Structure 1
Amino acid sequence: MLELYTDRLRLRTVIASDWDDFLYTNSCEILNQYVRIPQSESVIRQKFERVLTPNNLKEDQQLSLVIEAVHSKSFIGFLSLHNVSQTLGQLEVGYMLHDNAQGKGYATEALQGLIDWACIALMPHKFIAHCADLNIASTKVLEKCHFLQEGLLRHNWKVGDEWLDERFYGLLVAERV
């Protein structure tokens, strides 16, 4: 089981007892407004089972972590790291926080902790991230972690019937602050 710590947070491997938090996070319309129309519980359960399957983060594999408060052990959200390309050394990051944990700096702190660990453990060349252009909170998290916006992909993501513009971000490990 992987465990990482920051000043206020514990980042740990997802376990079976995280199902209720996973279901809520993946089915809440507000949390998913820039991601997807919430799917059925059976589809979410299949995703959860894949998240529980251990992997060594080889190409096209993903590591999912629970974000929780160190002292209270209360659930804050999820963080992911996807090995997009072993050859190019690219890792894609993602995060989703419970609605009552937003606006407190947790996403920034968790993402920075994950980046710090990945730089040592996986030695990537670059981190990448995508977020909806309208998702200002997420863009602020990425920019606080020193990601640079490298492009705006017009009508690149669809949620329901609505096309969204998507910001593409990158962080070169060699340029990390």
Structure 2
Amino acid sequence: MRRKPWQLVFSWLPQPATAVKKRLAAQMPDEVLTIWCRETAAALGLPELARRVEVSWNNRMQTTAGRAWWPARLIELNPKIENIDPEQKWRTLRHELAHLIAYERAGRRKIEAHGADWRQACADLGIPGESVFHQLPLKRRKIQPKYLYGCPNCRSQFKRVKKISKPMACYPCCKKYSNGKYDERFRLREVKGEKSI
């Protein structure tokens, strides 16, 4: 099986304000779950996490049950899990809180997302042996790529769902000829006549 060629993304500009506004509009804070997380973190002796952790529902989530953001100390949950099983909401919340606890305890030390520190945090939260992946019936949708881009140097082709809006280059060519740095010579170009794949 052939591995897909890598692509480099170079973005020196901040995110557009509209993207940030859309993201914030899609989130609904949950005060009850936030209070529970703060009390739990305080009981585990993590005062900074207890002070800053926040939980919200993210309407934009499709297949992910939850997500933890470090160092922002934010937990996002998929609203669909409430309709599936009430217990699943609490299990997902504990799973995501375990990530924040593991990072909080590690300090500056680098840890694996689902490594020993996370497993210990799961055990402390009453979910020992927690699975890395959920088995929830969240509908996965397969999106067909609409765009085809090519490297002018090596002729590798890249299928994309969205049109490329930022400078993007072929990683193997940049690595081989430019020490891994962006080089305009290897910037991906849309292959004309092949828009619908």
TM-score (norm 1): 0.26
Larger Rg: 2
Which one has a larger percent helix, Structure 1 or Structure 2? 2
Which one has a larger percent strand, Structure 1 or Structure 2? 1
